[in-house]
Structure 1
Amino acid sequence: MKETRYVWQFNLQRQEQSSVDVYYDLVTCKKVVCKTIQKSAHPQLLHQFHMEIQVLSQIQYPFMPSILDIKENQETLSLFETYIPGMNLKDWMNCHPIQTRLFRFFYILQALNCINHLHEKEILYVDIKRENFLIHHQILYLIDFNGCVYDQSQGIYFSSPSNADPELFLNTPKTYSMDIFAFGTFMSSFYARKNWILSKCLKKDSKKRFQSIHQLKWTYIIYSFIKLIIVFILSVFLVLNGGKETLERKYKAHPKDELIFIQLYEKDLSKQKGTYYEKIQSNLYQWIQVKTLKESLKNPEIAFYMMKQAILSQNSMYCQFFIENIPQSIQTQNKELTQFLIQIKEKQITLSFCDQYITYLNQSQELDTLSIFMNLLVDEQIIVSNLNELFELHEKMTPNHPEFEICSIFYLEYCLFLQTKELSLPVPDSYQQSQNEQVQTLIHYLERS
């Protein structure tokens, strides 16, 4: 940008004909998001860009970005909107499973209010998924409106396969029912099992779903309130009858309850000494001796959580234990993590696995094991085949992610290793902007080499 008002900070996303960057506004002294598209881009992309401008021009909601400015030149069109800090909800939920379970009612309610506000403007969001929500200080913000259409529109320009209404691509007017189905897929990520509200949202026949987001919202509030009353009554009954259960007793009584399990596991983890990875190793050593652990591993969510813990430990003995004790059906559902466990167990990381795992991480965006994976690439001195895909993966790592600093360090060490083999990888913009002293030192070494 040639405008002196806006000073470039870092890139959030870059594609062939568009980009999303963060700038510093010298007038307001605030960060802003700038979305830019080439005028030569595909007409569908241009339509989506103009649609986002239209939507942002109509909405005035504290938990959505506001349009600030539009710039145009002979080649590009740029949209400036408010910058919202935070992490995308999918990554945040992976990092905070307990908070997700405890406060899911409030997160779902906030999301419902955002979609309801759009419906009041006769706008369908269409692509409702966790990646399109940012969470900051426990508040959800809805972003990315380029997939929106108006109620009764005939065409849809964008939707993710995971949340697409079965009637989406029929030649019929698009209605609010599409968003209700998509919201059902969004809600399902907060629950291990379907409840009747989810089932009603996900009915294939749109006429059998909730008739509006407003109706869904109040049904969900009443349903949650009734559950809360029941839990309160049971709690009072237990207290009056002298029932005082410790977390350990609760776990023994309900070894498959993922909330109780993770609470107890992380409580024990906090008591361990050493670095984060040493704490995990010590904690796993204690837990593999717990008799009820094998029963707990029959719960897919607990198994998934413990597979990642074993990977973070980098200990072949622990990896072998979970390979032997997690049901085969769950291992099949998580074949990439299972393969990672096998690689660590056999103490031999293969090139084919590394290439497959990079693709898996790019598709799933489950970045909490990325630091360990990069560490193994450096230690084993493996040159992956898909270096460009590895770079794209690290471009997705945002400064707000808990693994950001350690991933940036391992990535730069890997770049230095590649230079010894006369190969190179670019450094993501976010890493270059890092204030970490070790990161800056490694970048300096790369530039000198």
Structure 2
Amino acid sequence: MILNDRYLIQEQIQKSSWINVYVVEDQLTSKLYIAKEVLKEANPILIHQFHVEVDVLSQLEHKHFPSIIDVFETRNSMILIETYFKGIDLGQWLLKHDKISQKLKKKWILDCIDMLQHIHEKGFLYIDLKPENLIIVDEEIYLIDFNACLEKTSHQAILASKVNMAPEFLETGYLDQTSDIYGMGGILLALYSRGPCRKLAQKCRDTLPSKRIRSMKQLKRCFLLCCRAKYILSIIICILLSVFLFSLLFRYTLATPLSKYLDTKNSSDLISAYQFTLNQAEGTYQQKVQDTLYLWIDNGWISTSVLEDEKVARFLLKQAIQSQNISWCSYILNLLNDDVKDQLIDLVLLTNVYIEQTQNIQYEHIHRFLNDLKTKTLSTSQKMENMFLILNVINECEIILKQQDLDILYKLQSNLPDQQNEILRSLANAYLSYGLIIQDEDLEFKIPSFYTELFKDDLEKLEIIQFLGG
């Protein structure tokens, strides 16, 4: 079939009651294009959106947008001929590729921000941003389907994907440029599974427009800052720590467990010395661990000889994981000799899992760790520290526990005494975070009854508990 005596249909890629989309070949140039056909008897909104796409594309010139080649009518339909980007959409691309470089992620996000900023500067909102509307061709990203676009001042009804649309439109019908910020949040979530960019995505997806990033320019600045966050954070930490290290060292040089350990360098004195410095630190339990471990590593107080003691090695490996600092985990692990690693096989494996942050792990080691935790005779504080340890690992690596292991984790917490302390709150926070990770899995996630009392003054946590079914 030939359209307008010129465009030979090669393939039909979309068909509905009123809309057809084809790949066509121009008989004059042999080039391939996209042909979008809307029947004249279609829903008036679809007809309006056909005219919108023609109007918008005629005003937008951008290397990552399709260009209008031809527009014409037949007796029964209206047809738009536009550029054909021969590739696959972003969603399909991500399914086919296990890994994507940070450089490519950054390029695509910056290109998307640039495209949307260009649309906004021309007086339009894109509205329907989703992975299916982003086409990847030779690692370049292109935006298609402009039929849901609106002028910034328009209140015209539109047909777009409700799952991707900003919630305020569904509630009030109001849209502004923060509605496209909401869409960009979805693209960030598709590309980033953790870290500062994930947090930025959540900021973009806030249900309240007033709490989102306000413009594409601001989003670009925030995104570039997030990309550099780990380097900036390291600098900030060093600056902040350098301020208080002197005061800490002054206090620690008195007659204390630390001074005793520094005099003898005896492994039997290390844990009490470390606990002493931990108790002197301020903030949440995790912040205390981070500050204390930094202090010990920075001052060279941890030697290979003291780590020949299995008890000391186990203790410091747990502290390293609880710090959630990959470099410190690697540092402690590299100081261990092979004999000690053999004695601590489960903990060493878990530390390696955390360092690699990989999904390709041996699940049986997680299972064995939980079963050991269930059967071993440990103090309450030791149990909490071990549970906090395992939760840090499965949260970071997004490991989906089997129901039997999830039940073990629940029962271990349920048997803890109902008390208010920082370690218990940190443990509970980590457990609730894990509940959010597995909320879409076919698992029964149970919450200890004392959590409600534990977080009675924290409305956000109470809402999460209610959301997770507690």
Correspondent of 1:221 among 214, 220, 224: 224
1:88-137 deviations in Å (ceiling 9; x for gaps): 11121122232166632222111111111111111101111111111122
Q: Distance in 1 between matches of 2:218 and 2:178?
A: 12
Q: Which residue of 333, 336, 339 corresponds with 2:440?
A: 333
TM-score, normalised with respect to structure 2: 0.53
Measured against aligned partners, the alpha-carbon deviations of 1:60-105 in whole angstroms (never above 9, x if no partner) come to: 1111111101121110111111110111111211222321666322
Give the counterpart letter for 1:333 in structure 2. Answer: D
- SS at structure 2 position matched to 1:128: coil
> Equivalent residue for 2:147?
146
* SS of match in other structure, 2:45: helix
Write the deviation string for residues 393-416 of structure 1: whole angstroms up to 9, x where unpaired.
Answer: xxxxxxxxxxxxxxxxxxxxxxxx
> Structure 1 residue aligned with 2:200, among 197, 217, 222?
197
CA distance in 2, matches of 1:146, 1:132: 11
SS in 2 for 1:152: coil
Residues 321-351 of structure 1, C-alpha deviations (whole Å, 9 max, x = no match): 967668896776144xx9xxxxxxxxxxxxx
Matched residue type, 1:142: L
2:353 equivalent to 1:255: yes
Pair 1:122-2:123 in alignment: yes
Contact between 2:2 and 2:9, CA under 8 Å: does it hold in 1?
A: no
- Answer yes or no: is the 8 Å Cα contact 1:101–1:190 preserved in 2: no
Other structure's SS at 1:155 match: coil
On the 8 A contact 1:37/1:76 being kept in 2, the answer is yes
* 1:2 maps onto 2:2 in alignment: yes
How far 1:199 sits from its partner (Å)? Answer: 3.9
Mapped contact 1:177–1:209 kept (Cα < 8 A): yes
SS at match of 1:168: helix
1:168 Cα offset (Å): 1.1
Sort the Cα spacing of 1:7 and 1:290 in 2 relative to 1 into closer, same or farther, 3 A. Answer: farther
**1:233–1:29 Cα change, 3 Å:** farther
1:255 counterpart letter in structure 2: V
Which letter maps to 1:163? N
- Flag the 1:19–1:256 CA change in 2: closer, same or farther, 3 A: farther
**For 1:114 and 1:213, how far apart are their aligned partners in 2?**
10
**Counterpart of 1:24?**
25
The whole-number CA distance in structure 1 between the counterparts of 2:27 and 2:179 is 42
Pair 1:232–1:9, CA change in 2 (3 A): farther
Deviation at 1:222, TM superposition (A): 2.7
Superimposed CA distance per residue, residues 305-328 of structure 1 (whole angstroms, 9 cap, x where no aligned partner): xxxxxxxxxxxxxxxx96766889
> Are the counterparts in 2 of residues 118 and 124 from structure 1 also a CA contact under 8 Å?
yes
- Looking at structure 1, the residues matched to 121 and 133 of structure 2 have their Cα atoms a distance apart, in angstroms, of 20
Q: Is the 8 A contact 1:127 1:159 kept in 2?
A: yes
Closer, same or farther: CA 102–62 of 1 in aligned 2, 3 Å: closer
Q: How does 1:82-231 map to 2 (within 5 A)?
A: 82-99=83-100, 103-169=104-170, 174-193=175-194, 195=196, 196-228=199-231
Q: Is the 8 A contact 1:256 1:299 kept in 2?
A: no
Bigger relative contact order, structure 1 or 2 (CA pairs below 8 A, ≥6 apart): 1
Q: How many residues align?
A: 291
Structure 1 position 171, deviation (Å): 5.2
In the TM superposition, residue 37 of structure 1 has moved relative to its aligned partner by 1.0
Larger-gyration structure (1/2): 2
Whole-angstrom CA distance in 2 between matches of 1:194 and 1:149: 33
Task: Check conservation: 1:93, 1:100, Cα contact below 8 A.
Answer: no
Checking the alignment, whether the CA contact within 8 Å between 1:135 and 1:141 is kept in structure 2 is: yes
Spell out the pairing of 1:235-254 with structure 2 (5 A cutoff): 252-253=350-351
How far apart, CA to CA, are the structure 1 residues paired with 2:37 and 2:213? 37
Alpha-carbon spacing, 1:207–1:299, altered in 2? closer, same or farther (3 Å): closer
- For the residue of structure 2 that corresponds to 1:13, the secondary structure is strand
SS of the equivalent of 1:68 reads strand
The Cα of 1:300 is off from its aligned counterpart by 9.2
Report the CA distance between 1:201 and its aligned residue.
Answer: 2.0
Q: For residue 333 of structure 1, give the secondary structure of its aligned residue in structure 2.
A: coil
Equivalent position SS for 2:168 = coil
2:46–2:159 Cα contact (<8 Å) kept: no
Partner letter of residue 191 of structure 2?
F
CA distance in 1 between counterparts of 2:137 and 2:47 reads 30
**Over the residues paired in the alignment, what is the CA RMSD in angstroms?**
3.8
**1:131–1:100 distance in 2 versus 1, CA, 3 Å:** farther
- Deviation of 1:197 after TM superposition, in Å, equals 2.6
